[in-house]
Structure 1
Amino acid sequence: MGIFRKLGWYFKQEWRRYLLGVTFLLLVALVNLIPPKVIGDLVDAMSKSRLTSSHLAWMLGLLLFSGVAQYLFRFGWRNAIWGGAAKLERTLRTRLFWHFMKMDATFYQKHRTGDLMAHATNDLNAVQNVAGAGILTLFDSMITGGTTIIAMVLVVDWRLTIVAILPMPLLAVMARKLGTRLHAAFSESQAAFSRLNDKTQESVSGIKVIKTFGQEAEDTADFNQIVDHTVQINRRVNMIDALFDPTTSLIMGLTYVITIIYGGWQVVHGQITIGQLVSFVTYVSALVWPMFAIGRLFNILERGNASYDRVDELLQEKSTILEAKDAITTPAHGDIRYQINKFSYPDDQQVALSRVHFTLPEGHTLGIVGKVGAGKSTIFKLLLREFDNYDGVIEFGGHNIKDYSLDALLDSIGYVPQDNFLFSTTVADNIRFSAFEKGQQDVEQAAKESAVHEDIKKFAAGYDTLVGEKGVSLSGGQKQRLSIARAVINAPELLILDDALSAVDAKTEEEILANMKQDRAHKTTIIAAHRLSSVMHADEILVLENGQVIERGTHEQLITKHGWYAEMWAKQEMEAAEEGESLGK
């Protein structure tokens, strides 16, 4: 019953709804006592040849009243109890989804997408069942069982009732033993479902890569292995679950045997009538549901308890990114001072950034280059406050970025990551994702600035074209340029391009940079790139290696230093010349 204590906050909040539902359950149970009594009276009247038409009509009227009343009262408890369960599910889904929105990058490194989806679907369904079917089976079994036993005592015979219910304490022993085993088994089952969900999500997302490398058979075999393991675990759950009903049936069978033997003896000795015995047997039949409900109840409660613990464990996790109590709510703007002495990712001993210091005046452009893994994206993650556990300080407009509210800081930054993510909606809605109040003219202007307007015009439905999941219908260059348009539509104070021009050709790259130089004349821009032509016009360029700045200066200054930048520039110029010659042929 621990799950009821854990959900106590909700039941206290919705006590009126559940009180109404339980009241209707009580009324159903009371009305349900009428038919056995009527049947018993009819049997006695017929056995004594005293049944008259008026008496029969009266009895049939009572049965009709019982049926109509049960229909109305059942509608009442269903509306109250199932409505409460649906509201709990909505409350928990909203709370969990908002929790996902607030959590930091560390949280998403720790938990895989499929696992989070399993918590938000399968686990929440199990918890909802506690507030619906769980409440129903608990109170219905108690009320129906209690009223039926009372009726058996008052209408028939107290001695027969006591003897008949002697096997029932065995149910409590059975439910406790099987319930404990079911809780552990279902926890394991939910974890297995999460792993299966992870695998499914990963395989579907990476289906193109799987097919490209011809790994369909291998990936299917891996998937089948996980499915087999999940099925094996669920078989264990079902085996324990399946023991409830046979055990309950056995106990009910003993009750029937006792009733027939001892009740028959009482009829023979004139202690009860044959009609009373028929009523008693009918009442025993009414006890079948409460007895089965006990097994079902423990099943529901143990499943819900295991799932609630899994969900609550997620909700108890706290983001490491905290806003200041008196956070600055005005949008950030001004110079950027970046002074990072040391930074390592959580649970990683390797230093990701070391002594990265620079000042970027408002309206200037900074270029950042280096090998893959040099630390370019890490610089941006700290600027975007994905991690705060660094030694140093980052200032924006003279204020520590930790002093801004997250909305004030992030609304001032337009970020285009290396991995472009587009939503399964129209081209226009993807561009104005962060500013749905923007009109078509603003959308087209942003598209022109990112040199994707002409491509969009060629689409079948223009700006109303659906891009498909993750932009599956677009080329890599088109996805990059749409992501740039989405970032520039709000004219952010700081625009960060994290290798965002890698999929476009040199001519398109030049057009985009020229547009930005004109449209963002007084705005700050940071460009990280592997192609040095993307940063050659920057006011300052940083060259990173192993998280440290090894060179810095303008394009011309770095060329004269004959270091890594100069070597890479010469190599890329040679490659561009060779490519031009091959195209000329």
Structure 2
Amino acid sequence: MRIFMDLWWYFKQEKWKYLIGIIFLMCSSLISMLPPYVVGVIVDAIRKRTLTPAVLGKWVVILAVAGVISYTAGFIWRQMIFGSSVRLARLLRDRLFHHFTKMSPGFFNKRRIGDLMAHSTNDILAVQDAAGEGILTLIDSISMGGMVIISMITLVSWKLTLIALIPMPFLAWATSYYASLLHKRFHKAQAAFSELNDKVQENIAGVRVIKAFGQEEAQKDMFRKQSADVVSKNIAVAKADALFDPTITFIVGMCYLLSLSFGAVFVVHGSMTIGQLTSFTLYLGQLIWPMLAFGLLFNIVERGRASYGRICKLLEIRPEIVDHKGALDFVPSGNVSFNINNLIYPKKTIPALKDIHFSLSQGQTLGVVGKTGSGKTTLLKLMLREFDCEDGDIQIGGLSIYDVKLAKLREAIGYVPQDHFLFSATIAENIAFAEPGASMKDIERVAKLANIHDDILEFEEGYDTVVGERGVTLSGGQKQRISIARALLINPEILILDDSLSAVDAHTEEAILQALKDNRDNKTTLISAHRLSAIQHADLILVLEDGQIVERGTHETLMANDNWYASMFRRQQLESLVEQGGVIYE
């Protein structure tokens, strides 16, 4: 019953609703003790030929009133207990979602989406059942079982009651053993379901890649194996679950056998009447549900315990990126300064960045280039505080980014990542994601700046076009430009473009960059790119290699130095000229 102790904080929070529910549940159980007694009285009256219409009518009216009261009590306790369990599920879902939003990228890199979804669905439903069905079966099995036994003792025969309950210790031992077995197996079944859930999500998201490489059959075979594993583990749970009912049925049968055998002896010897034996038999029938509920209780609570443990384990993980003590609550602006001595990722020995020192005046543009894996994205994400640098600092307007609240820091930055994520919503809603109240005039304005407005108008539904999950209906260049428009809508102090022009042609790239230059007066821009034409206009260009700055300067300076930058720029211009008839810029 550990799950009830774990959820005690919630039961205290909803104590009045649970208390009212339990009171009415016990009233309902108490009222159910009346019919067997009435039947016994009527049977004895029939045997003695003393039953009259008036007496029968009196008992019928009593039973009718009891039925109405039981119906009303049942309605109320269901509202109180089950309603509270639904609210618990909502609370846990809210906590999980809030927890997910606080976690850093490292958290999601280590955990699969399917597993997180399983926590948010199946595990929460199991906890909800424990707080609803679990409380019901606990209270009902104890209260009704206790009332039945008390009624059997006080209204019929205490001797026959003791005899009938002889098999009960075996039932207690068996159900305890089954519960332990169920807990272990259910935990494994939930883990297997998480893996299957993740596999399905991954395959749906990557269906185009699967089809492109002709791996449909291989993936289907892998899915069949994982699905079979889920079935196997759930069958193991079902086998443990299936042990409860036969055991309880056997115990009930033994109770009936003992009751009828010894009860018949008592009737023959005159210590019981036939009516009392009839009542006792009916009471014993009512004892079947508490016994079954007792077995069901272990099933529910062990499932809930396993799932709540999984949820708590997830909630116990602390965010890696948090506001520092005394962090200021305002949006920073001004000159940007990077002073990174050393940045080493956890469990790595080689620095991702080393000796990165430079400054930008407010309104200037920074270009960051280098080979794949040179540290460009790492450098830009440091400003967003997706991870923190302990050996170094970044300042905006002379103030460390670690001295500003995280929400305010990110409010100052418009970020366009390499992986352009669009939501399954309209184009207008995707552009207005960071500012949901934006007018269509503003949405269209930034769409024009991102050179995507004309493309949108060509769609049948224009800005009301639903782009599909992750923007599946759009080309790579269209997704990039919508992402840029989304960032521009908030008019950020600092705009970060992380290789965000790679999917557009040279002329579109030039138009976007010119629009940014004309419309972002006194606003700082940081651009990383593989195509050097995207950053040749920058006030400062950094060339990274193995996380270090190997060249720095303006485009003209770097071309004059005639090192990696100049060689790569000439090569790309030649490729552009040969492949697209592009114009060479110097």
Q: Indicate the TM-score class for this superposition, using the shorter chain for normalisation.
A: over 0.9
Asked if residue 480 in structure 1 is aligned to residue 480 in structure 2, the reply is yes
| TM-score, length basis structure 2 | 0.98
Percent identical: 50
Counterpart residue number, 1:320? 320
**CA-atom RMSD, angstroms?**
1.3
Counterpart residue number, 1:204? 204
Counterpart residue number, 2:530? 530
In the TM superposition, what whole-angstrom CA distance separates every residue of 1:128-165 from its partner, at most 9, and x where no partner exists?
A: 11110000000000000001111111111111111111
Give the CA deviation at 1:187: 1.2
Counterpart residue number, 1:132? 132
Give the CA deviation at 1:581: 4.9
State the distance in 2 between where 1:368 and 1:28 align.
74
State the distance in 2 between where 1:323 and 1:477 align.
36
Task: Determine if contact 1:375/1:544 at 8 Å carries over to the other structure.
Answer: yes
Give the CA deviation at 1:275: 0.8
Matches within 5 A, 1:170-319: 170-319=170-319
Counterpart residue number, 1:58? 58
In the TM superposition, what whole-angstrom CA distance separates every residue of 1:225-273 from its partner, at most 9, and x where no partner exists?
A: 1111111111111111110111111111100000110011111111111
Q: Using a 3 Å threshold, how does the CA distance of structure 1 residues 233 and 389 change in structure 2: closer, same or farther? A: farther
What code does the residue aligned with 1:3 have? I
Structure 1 residues 86-95 or 381-390, which shifts more?
Answer: 381-390
In the TM superposition, what whole-angstrom CA distance separates every residue of 1:163-200 from its partner, at most 9, and x where no partner exists?
A: 11111121211121111111111111111111111111
What code does the residue aligned with 2:432 have? R
State the distance in 1 between where 2:572 and 2:202 align.
36
Instruction: Report the secondary structure of 1:178's partner residue.
Output: helix
State the distance in 1 between where 2:247 and 2:126 align.
24
Q: Which structure 2 segments of 5+ residues have no match?
A: none
What code does the residue aligned with 2:145 have? G
Counterpart residue number, 1:357? 357
Give the CA deviation at 1:534: 0.3
Structure 1 residues 345-354 or 256-265, which shifts more?
Answer: 345-354
Counterpart residue number, 1:105? 105
Instruction: Report the secondary structure of 2:552's partner residue.
Output: strand
Instruction: Report the secondary structure of 1:366's partner residue.
Output: strand
Counterpart residue number, 1:452? 452
Asked if residue 19 in structure 1 is aligned to residue 1 in structure 2, the reply is no
State the distance in 2 between where 1:391 and 1:375 align.
16
Task: Determine if contact 1:168/1:251 at 8 Å carries over to the other structure.
Answer: yes
Q: Using a 3 Å threshold, how does the CA distance of structure 1 residues 410 and 581 change in structure 2: closer, same or farther? A: closer
Task: Determine if contact 1:426/1:466 at 8 Å carries over to the other structure.
Answer: yes
Structure 1 residues 33-42 or 477-486, which shifts more?
Answer: 33-42
In the TM superposition, what whole-angstrom CA distance separates every residue of 1:272-326 from its partner, at most 9, and x where no partner exists?
A: 1111111100000000010011111111111111111111011111112121232
Instruction: Report the secondary structure of 1:418's partner residue.
Output: coil
State the distance in 2 between where 1:506 and 1:158 align.
95
Give the CA deviation at 1:213: 1.0
- Aligned pairs, number: 583
Instruction: Report the secondary structure of 1:323's partner residue.
Output: coil
Asked if residue 29 in structure 1 is aligned to residue 61 in structure 2, the reply is no
Counterpart residue number, 1:566? 566
Task: Determine if contact 2:363/2:525 at 8 Å carries over to the other structure.
Answer: yes
Structure 1 residues 319-328 or 234-243, which shifts more?
Answer: 319-328
Counterpart residue number, 1:469? 469
State the distance in 1 between where 2:94 and 2:577 align.
56
Counterpart residue number, 1:367? 367
Matches within 5 A, 1:389-400: 389-400=389-400
Q: Which structure 1 segments of 5+ residues have no match?
A: none
What code does the residue aligned with 1:262 have? F
State the distance in 2 between where 1:52 and 1:435 align.
80
State the distance in 2 between where 1:346 and 1:328 align.
28
Task: Determine if contact 1:370/1:543 at 8 Å carries over to the other structure.
Answer: yes
Task: Determine if contact 2:129/2:304 at 8 Å carries over to the other structure.
Answer: yes
Give the CA deviation at 1:580: 3.2
Task: Determine if contact 2:341/2:356 at 8 Å carries over to the other structure.
Answer: yes
Q: Using a 3 Å threshold, how does the CA distance of structure 1 residues 340 and 582 change in structure 2: closer, same or farther? A: closer
Counterpart residue number, 1:118? 118
State the distance in 1 between where 2:347 and 2:180 align.
36
Q: Using a 3 Å threshold, how does the CA distance of structure 1 residues 300 and 420 change in structure 2: closer, same or farther? A: same
Instruction: Report the secondary structure of 2:387's partner residue.
Output: coil
Instruction: Report the secondary structure of 1:422's partner residue.
Output: coil
State the distance in 2 between where 1:271 and 1:576 align.
108
In the TM superposition, what whole-angstrom CA distance separates every residue of 1:380-411 from its partner, at most 9, and x where no partner exists?
A: 11110011144111111111101000111000
Counterpart residue number, 2:150? 150
State the distance in 1 between where 2:358 and 2:171 align.
73
Instruction: Report the secondary structure of 2:362's partner residue.
Output: coil
Counterpart residue number, 1:498? 498
In the TM superposition, what whole-angstrom CA distance separates every residue of 1:504-530 from its partner, at most 9, and x where no partner exists?
A: 111111100000000012110011111
Counterpart residue number, 1:552? 552
Task: Determine if contact 1:416/1:496 at 8 Å carries over to the other structure.
Answer: yes
Task: Determine if contact 2:339/2:394 at 8 Å carries over to the other structure.
Answer: yes
State the distance in 1 between where 2:117 and 2:346 align.
24
Task: Determine if contact 1:35/1:66 at 8 Å carries over to the other structure.
Answer: no
Q: Using a 3 Å threshold, how does the CA distance of structure 1 residues 582 and 355 change in structure 2: closer, same or farther? A: closer
State the distance in 2 between where 1:347 and 1:449 align.
42
State the distance in 1 between where 2:349 and 2:460 align.
51
Task: Determine if contact 1:420/1:483 at 8 Å carries over to the other structure.
Answer: yes
Give the CA deviation at 1:336: 0.9
State the distance in 1 between where 2:309 and 2:511 align.
55
Task: Determine if contact 1:423/1:471 at 8 Å carries over to the other structure.
Answer: yes
What code does the residue aligned with 2:403 have? D
Instruction: Report the secondary structure of 1:203's partner residue.
Output: helix
Give the CA deviation at 1:582: 11
Task: Determine if contact 1:256/1:284 at 8 Å carries over to the other structure.
Answer: yes
What code does the residue aligned with 1:381 have? K
Give the CA deviation at 1:437: 2.1
Give the CA deviation at 1:481: 0.4
State the distance in 1 between where 2:522 and 2:396 align.
15
Give the CA deviation at 1:347: 2.4
What code does the residue aligned with 2:27 have? L
Matches within 5 A, 1:306-455: 306-455=306-455
Instruction: Report the secondary structure of 1:392's partner residue.
Output: strand
Instruction: Report the secondary structure of 2:537's partner residue.
Output: coil
State the distance in 1 between where 2:386 and 2:573 align.
36
State the distance in 2 between where 1:394 and 1:130 align.
49
Instruction: Report the secondary structure of 1:551's partner residue.
Output: strand
Task: Determine if contact 1:187/1:307 at 8 Å carries over to the other structure.
Answer: yes
State the distance in 1 between where 2:567 and 2:221 align.
47
State the distance in 1 between where 2:213 and 2:455 align.
30
What code does the residue aligned with 1:393 have? D
In the TM superposition, what whole-angstrom CA distance separates every residue of 1:558-581 from its partner, at most 9, and x where no partner exists?
A: 112221111111111111111135
Instruction: Report the secondary structure of 2:379's partner residue.
Output: helix
Instruction: Report the secondary structure of 1:525's partner residue.
Output: strand
Matches within 5 A, 1:509-528: 509-528=509-528
Instruction: Report the secondary structure of 1:225's partner residue.
Output: helix
Q: Using a 3 Å threshold, how does the CA distance of structure 1 residues 541 and 114 change in structure 2: closer, same or farther? A: same
Instruction: Report the secondary structure of 1:342's partner residue.
Output: strand
What code does the residue aligned with 1:267 have? V
Task: Determine if contact 1:344/1:390 at 8 Å carries over to the other structure.
Answer: no
What code does the residue aligned with 1:227 have? S
Task: Determine if contact 2:263/2:277 at 8 Å carries over to the other structure.
Answer: yes
